[in-house]
Amino acid sequence: MLAISNDIDGTDIQNFRELHRFLNTEKDTRIGSGVGLDIADSFWMYNLADKTINGKTQYAGDDTMSYWKGHCSKATQNAEEIRQYINCGWIDTLHSYGDFSIEGGFTRTHAEEAVAELNAMGCQIQVWTNHGDIKNSQNFYGTIDDNFTGDNPDTDAYHTDLTLNSGIEFVWNKTGSQLGYESIIKPVSLWDGQQVWGFQRFTHNTGPKSFLRNQLGKVANRVETITGISSRIFTVLKSNLWHPERLHEQLSEKNLQQLVDNGQYAIIGQHLGCREKPLPVSARKALRKLRERQDEEEILVSRTSRLLEYNRVWKFLEYNVHGDVIDISHVADPIFDNFVPELKQLRGITFYTESPSTTSITLRGDPIPEDELQENPPDGEMSSIGVRWFEPDRTDYTP
């Protein structure tokens, strides 16, 4: 199972629309015919602060995937559209509360306002990815950088008590060169004593050439952040990290075959919308190859939140077997306590049995409808039955 976890940096609303028409639908786009994959994105509540130039205020959030303008709780012209994308599933991740790079300025009040607005919208986001440079004090894990104090109660940026209570359960905490995992979630302890599910993202392959390119990219990113100066050479160097110019390397035939052979989970970290130009040809070809792998039933491409939820349920599901009846009891989540899963949380769960045609699955004694179950072809000596995965949704949700 594979997800592409995309950071929203540098993406304006027009780019977002065209990108996801290509990724999620099968329509003709200026990038090409859509690949129709289940790939969700991220968003911000806040963007860079407003600036006054020649007496006129420029709102940094007007063209980006930010719900509010700058660092204040005033809606951008894209706010309603962002809400629609959350509801339809094209957005499932909060890329931190906002872009506080270079200038800083995040406080607990920002978190309070954001959580209140998300609750009022009825939007429960499960996935958080840290964003940006050391000025983003909102980020989790002071163990990675002492300037990241969002989970430290002794700082003005503390918010994780609010954030986890609002529904965040999965937090990106590590990026690196390992592609696949037997289980991609791992308990992570925060400064305030809470725990949350951390997950890994794959960014680059290993090797001397890749290492040098990655180090140059990191230096360029650091210099650009400190000085606030952008240049073409920095853009070229940074593209050697997790940017669309290298998506084809992340999704190489070798990497995908390794994932298939090992039967593992993988989450790819990317910045697909960070360029003014459309996806490069190499990235488009890689995504078409990925769709072929899915059509061949070798790799299931899933939005990040679905992969993480499936991993959790798969790992901690409790059930009993009574003859030909498999009765699901609960999910014994060691961090967020036991819970009875909804049908959507059980999608993809599979049980191996010698007689799937006579096996039924119940949830605390209540039968799961037969049309929600699926008998699968034999896998070795055993056959299986499971709850159907989500039906593909290739609807165009753009205006």
Q: Give the DSSP per-residue string, 298-347.
A: S--B--HHHHHHHHHHHHHEEEEEETTEEEEEEE--TTT--BPPPHHHHT
Interstrand relation of 127-129 and 91-94 (parallel, antiparallel or unpaired): parallel
**Lowest-confidence range among 62-76, 119-133, 365-379?**
62-76
CATH of the domain at 30: 3.20.20
pLDDT digits (tens, 9 = 90+) for 226-247: 665 555 455 555 555 789 999 9
Q: Is the pLDDT of residue 54 over 60?
A: no
Return the closest-CA partner of residue 43 out of 78, 19, 18, 72.
78
The answer to whether residue 340 sits within a structural domain is yes
Residue 38 and residue 6 in contact, taking contact as beta carbons nearer than 8 Å: no
**Co-location of 298 and 329 in the same domain:** no
**Co-location of 259 and 367 in the same domain:** no
Residue 249 and residue 204 in contact, taking contact as beta carbons nearer than 8 Å: yes
**Co-location of 161 and 193 in the same domain:** yes
**Co-location of 369 and 255 in the same domain:** no
**Co-location of 17 and 140 in the same domain:** yes
**Co-location of 358 and 247 in the same domain:** no
pLDDT at position 132 is 87
**Lowest-confidence range among 146-160, 162-176, 225-239, 365-379?**
225-239
The answer to whether residue 311 sits within a structural domain is no
3-state helix, strand, coil in the chain (%, to 5): 30, 25, 45
The answer to whether residue 59 sits within a structural domain is yes
The whole-model pTM stands at 0.90
The answer to whether residue 211 sits within a structural domain is no
**Co-location of 379 and 252 in the same domain:** no
Query: What is d(CA 58, CA 51) in angstroms, rounded to the nearest whole number?
Result: 5
Q: What is the domain count for the chain?
A: 2
* Greater pLDDT, 206 or 200: 200
**Co-location of 294 and 339 in the same domain:** no
Report how far apart the first and last C-alpha atoms of the chain are (Å, whole number): 31
The answer to whether residue 215 sits within a structural domain is no
**Co-location of 253 and 370 in the same domain:** no
Q: Which of 48-52, 132-136, 161-165 has the highest mean pLDDT?
A: 161-165
**Co-location of 146 and 189 in the same domain:** yes
The answer to whether residue 217 sits within a structural domain is no
**What range does the domain containing 360 cover?**
323-387
Distances in Å between the Cα of 125 and the Cα atoms of 118, 270, 314 are 8, 19, 21
The answer to whether residue 50 sits within a structural domain is yes
**Co-location of 327 and 189 in the same domain:** no
pLDDT at position 209 is 56
pLDDT digits (tens, 9 = 90+) for 321-344: 999 999 999 999 999 999 999 999
| Backbone dihedral region for residue 180 (phi beyond 0: left; psi -120 to 50: alpha; all else: beta) | beta
**Co-location of 328 and 299 in the same domain:** no
pLDDT digits (tens, 9 = 90+) for 338-351: 999 999 999 999 99
The answer to whether residue 160 sits within a structural domain is yes
